[in-house]
Structure 1
Amino acid sequence: MNFSQRTRGIVRAFAIVLSLAVPAAMAITAADARVGGGSSSGSRGSKTYSAPPSTTTAPNAAQPMNRTFSQPGAPAAAGAAAGAAKGGFFSRPGMGMMMGGLAAGFLGAGLFGMLSGGGLAGGLGGLASIIGLVLQIGLILIVVKLAMSWWQRRHTPANAYANNTGPAAGSAPPQTGGGFGSGMGFGLGSSTPAPLEIGPSDYEAFERLLGDVQAAWSNEDVAKLHTLATPEMVSYFTKDLEQNKANNDINKTSDVKLLQGDLAEAWREGQTDYASVAMRFSLVDKTLERGTNRLISGSDTPIEATEVWTFARQSGGHWELSAIQQTN
């Protein structure tokens, strides 16, 4: 009797879990069908491996890139170059020579012991000498640490003052506020200063690209996508479309409507402008069997999605889609 009740309890619990998991799996499948495949792809210049600031539209952090041409070493190399320009303790004149001399001294002592037939620790008087050597090394490390602390205390005030010189020349004033009163369309989003000023015409371009990219994706128009997105993004779209063809599927998106949008950040790198925008939009997302148009997933009921799209443009050029990131 107890066994039967326990079995029924397990079956009931399993049924509940299954009832919750199946709709979630269906939702994930539907979301993965739209342009971008529900993943995070593309490049954001030197900020590719940095999450865009959260906004009212996308308060949760954007997911890191699953697919990108950018190399992690590029931003790190820039940071290392900046550190070298400021100067570290071991890069100061004389410090490298001092540490090199200490290392050479220890190495010389070890080699002398080996040549004398006593091994690396030979000539040091056995265990007591080894302990003495360890204590000497520890004392030297303490002296080096104190010297580093003294050097940092001496130079930190000047560096801190240099880093607080106010906004960069030509930067836009801080932007504050949320979306429009109706909650529709683009708002200013983040309160952080934007080194690159984004105006109404730019927001119109972003909203237009949202619809045009979805339409070109739905029509499998790769030539059109080349005029709307960077070559990197087009390569991902092409690969995804080829996978759909291999699966005998075709993804159809329609009725794309921007519900709310915020500027997360905008900046300039050389001759390239970047703008990362959080967008909440609705669309009809369906996957059909190629040739028969039999519905495989999705429906005619619009669904909502929130993504961070990054746009890029060359000096004097037009905006192109450079990255799509999902939000958590």
Structure 2
Amino acid sequence: MAQREIDIELADLSSATARDADNLVSRCSSIFQATSSWITKLAESRYKREDRRRLEVQIEDYPSGYPRFSALVASHDSFHLCRRFTNLRTRLIFLKQDRLSFLEKQLERIDREEDTLLRLGCIRRDDNPERNSIFSDINEALADYGTSNFCANELIERNRRILGYEPPKPRDVLNLQNWINGNGCIAREETAYLDRSKDLLSISFREESAVTWLEALVEHGLFQLRQRFGQRSHLDISRDPNVHIFHRLSITCVARVLLTPFIILLLLTPVIACYSISSLTARLLVIITATAGFIAVLSGLTKARVVELVVAGATYTTVLIVFISSTNLVAN
């Protein structure tokens, strides 16, 4: 009987050992498959990076002259600069305005010299050829001037859109001038438009002032790191050691991440101050100071309108007052 029990225990032990061995083999197999898959993906990603590196075209790969200059301008949104020609547009407005004034006087003269009053009182019976000719000229002139309902997309409408573009930053203009002076592949007369800084406009959309300032700060920091460590990526837009163009999307993401703690500090500092102060007068002073600072920051760092500033300030003040009232109730 004892020998039988020993045999049963040995059989159970051997079966358990076999199961453990099978589990170990299956685990090793899964680990091997995962490792093989990871190595395969790593090799594929490496081949993709190498293919991308071979296919990446840099600015210096274009022929010298306008092909290379166009590649530089297309590499970053801030380089899309052109002239407004404000003076020429104003001269054209004066010219077309004077033509309309002349036609207006001609029409008034014809009306004063009209012998048949029925023609002035009934448009259907107005068969004066000179007046009809003047009306035709006025219609064309108004359409060209931009005040006609039939063609409202002419000179004045175009001027309004052109004047709505923001001027470029001096830094962007200076960057283009430095590249042109360093390469010397474009005629000076054809790049003299950059000297008219007051007449330039930027086609690209510009972020809010706070984000733009932080983007410039991040780009300056990356430039300093690159200058100190001397490392350049093979995927850079330019091989020129004096040209440093960073990807706009990455710079914007970093700038917004850096802006987050500033916003949190701006919103929560008066709340913490009011919570730590028991005097009601001191809390009111904190609210006034915080609201003034909040509106000043919004006005200086964003493009908010006056109505938006008033609504934001009123909302912020209301939240602080509600917080003070609730803390007073809890204390009582």
Q: Which has the higher strand share?
A: 1
Q: Which has the higher helix share?
A: 2
User: Which protein has greater RCO, CA pairs closer than 8 Å, 6+ apart?
Assistant: 1
Larger Rg: 2
